[in-house]
């Protein structure tokens, strides 16, 4: 029987060293060339078979157990952010303007640690463990690129977690139900008719109509979805017009939609189109609408996987380690895998107030309490074995 607590602790120095290397050599989403090379080299050193994919960064490692069984996939994202790191750490970013400010360096390092444990215990594994090191999490739906290339074929379940700055070291969150929202984008082009700004009755003002559309869109959260459900509609860009005394004949609105309810989300393009066309129509203008479905809502709705993930965390961090966290309107493209196969996603605490490690994700001074990292390794291993043995 594997003593995972001890094995994970034995990987602590390796995991921290890997994290420091990755932290000091960050690369932004979909440009993780050196990062991918490093991961492939590490996996190869462990004797793990590595697969890379045409046209994209990231890779998948495969560890086949000595005995047949199911296949489980463990996921880490590998990308950094276009943020200038606040100096101070010995392992500070050496790539100006780029920083691992979300902790994906930790995910990668923790999963490499798990790979070392699993690869050296194949004789005790029934089934196969796949490790996906995924590019471009910060960008949108890049996880889909691996799905398109067949990475999920034969995989029975997938597990992912994120280090989390609002949870203390030693705690974790694996909670059922709605966890993160979708992140969709819409564009509305309002078209009117130009005229001189001093004679607006001779044209149709696309700016005035677009302003009315912006106001009307807020009736979707307030009047169309149940008051017990959450929905955000934000127009973040409004572009139109050429000069102060010319009536604009075109104005473009670009916005984001965040919602948890899958059916309501599917109805959003039609709701936006109906409202925008009728409101703008009242001003004599017409509209074109585009809707782009980004990462879907992340909902932990597989009872068995929820139980195994919570159990992995409790075995690693102690019986009372689990904390509840409210769902968030941020998004995570792990949800794209869950459109295809069962999955579960949770959070690992890395905050330590005594050490002053309190910055939130995407902050230029973001850091984690590295004492938490080998526990992440342990949770990955425990979930994989728990699933394969269940
Ligand atoms: Ni992140």
| DSSP secondary structure string for all residues of 58-97 | -EEEEEE-SEEEEEEEEEEE--BBS-PPPS--TT--SSTT
Both ends of the chain: CA-CA distance in Å? Answer: 16
Which domains, from first to last, does the chain contain? 4-179+296-389 (3.40.630.10), 184-292 (3.30.70.360)
What pLDDT does residue 1 have? 76
Global pTM value: 0.94
Cα 62 to ligand 1 centroid, rounded to whole Å: 24
Cα 286 to ligand 1 centroid, rounded to whole Å: 39
Cα 284 to ligand 1 centroid, rounded to whole Å: 44
Cα 296 to ligand 1 centroid, rounded to whole Å: 16
Q: What is the pLDDT of residues 149-195, one digit of tens each?
A: 999 999 999 999 999 999 999 999 999 999 999 999 999 999 999 99
| Per-residue confidence band for 366, with pLDDT thresholds at 50, 70 and 90 | very high
Cα(143)–Cα(294) distance, integer angstroms:
11
Structure-token pair, residue 242: 């050429």
What pLDDT does residue 342 have? 98
What pLDDT does residue 5 have? 97
Cα 291 to ligand 1 centroid, rounded to whole Å: 24
Cα 101 to ligand 1 centroid, rounded to whole Å: 8
Cα(21)–Cα(109) distance, integer angstroms:
9
Average of per-residue pLDDT values in the chain: 98
Cα(63)–Cα(160) distance, integer angstroms:
17
Cα 99 to ligand 1 centroid, rounded to whole Å: 12
Q: What is the pLDDT of residues 295-314, one digit of tens each?
A: 999 999 999 999 999 999 99
Cα 114 to ligand 1 centroid, rounded to whole Å: 19
Cα 155 to ligand 1 centroid, rounded to whole Å: 24
Residue 270 has pLDDT above 80, yes or no: yes
> Is residue 225 within 8 Å of residue 236, measured between CB atoms?
no
Q: String of b and e for 80-109 (b: at least 16 CB within 10 Å)? A: bbebebbeeeebebeeeebbbbbbbbbbbb
Cα 104 to ligand 1 centroid, rounded to whole Å: 6
Q: What is the pLDDT of residues 188-198, one digit of tens each?
A: 999 999 999 99
């Amino acid at each position: 029987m594997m003593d995972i607590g001890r094995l994970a602790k034995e990987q602590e120095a390796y995991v921290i060293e890997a994290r420091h290397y990755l932290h000091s050599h960050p690369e932004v989403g979909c440009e993780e060339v050196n990062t991918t090379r490093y991961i492939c080299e590490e996996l190869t050193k462990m004797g793990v078979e590595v697969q890379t994919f045409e046209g994209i960064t990231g890779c998948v490692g495969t560890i086949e157990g000595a005995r047949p069984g199911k296949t489980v996939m463990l996921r880490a994202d590998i990308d950094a952010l276009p943020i200038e790191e606040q100096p101070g750490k010995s392992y500070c970013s050496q790539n100006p303007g780029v920083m691992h400010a979300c902790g994906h360096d930790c995910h990668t390092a923790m999963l490499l640690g798990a790979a070392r444990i699993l690869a050296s215990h194949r004789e005790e594994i029934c089934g196969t463990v796949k490790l996906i090191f995924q590019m471009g999490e910060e960008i949108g739906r890049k996880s889909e690129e691996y799905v398109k290339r067949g990475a999920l074929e034969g995989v029975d379940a997938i597990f992912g977690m994120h280090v989390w700055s609002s949870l203390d070291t030693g705690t974790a969150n694996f909670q059922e139900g709605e966890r993160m929202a979708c992140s969709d984008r819409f564009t509305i082009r309002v078209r009117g008719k130009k005229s001189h700004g001093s004679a607006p009755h001779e044209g149709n003002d696309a700016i005035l109509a677009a302003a009315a559309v912006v106001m009307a869109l807020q009736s979707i959260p307030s009047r169309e979805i149940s008051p017990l459900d959450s929905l955000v509609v934000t127009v973040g860009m409004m572009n139109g017009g050429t000069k102060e005394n010319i009536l604009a004949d075109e104005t473009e609105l670009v916005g984001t939609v965040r919602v948890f309810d899958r059916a309501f989300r599917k109805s959003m393009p039609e709701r936006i189109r109906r409202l925008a066309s009728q409101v703008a129509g009242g001003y004599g203008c017409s509209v074109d609408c585009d809707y782009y479905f980004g990462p879907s809502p992340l909902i932990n709705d597989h009872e068995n996987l929820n139980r195994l993930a919570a159990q992995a965390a409790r075995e690693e961090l102690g019986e009372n380690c689990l904390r509840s966290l409210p769902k968030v309107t941020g998004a995570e493209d792990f949800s794209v895998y869950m459109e295809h196969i069962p999955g579960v996603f949770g959070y690992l605490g890395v905050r330590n107030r005594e050490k002053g490690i309190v910055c939130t994700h995407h902050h230029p001074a973001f850091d984690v309490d590295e004492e938490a990292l080998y526990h992440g390794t342990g949770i990955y291993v425990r979930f994989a074995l728990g699933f394969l043995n269940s």
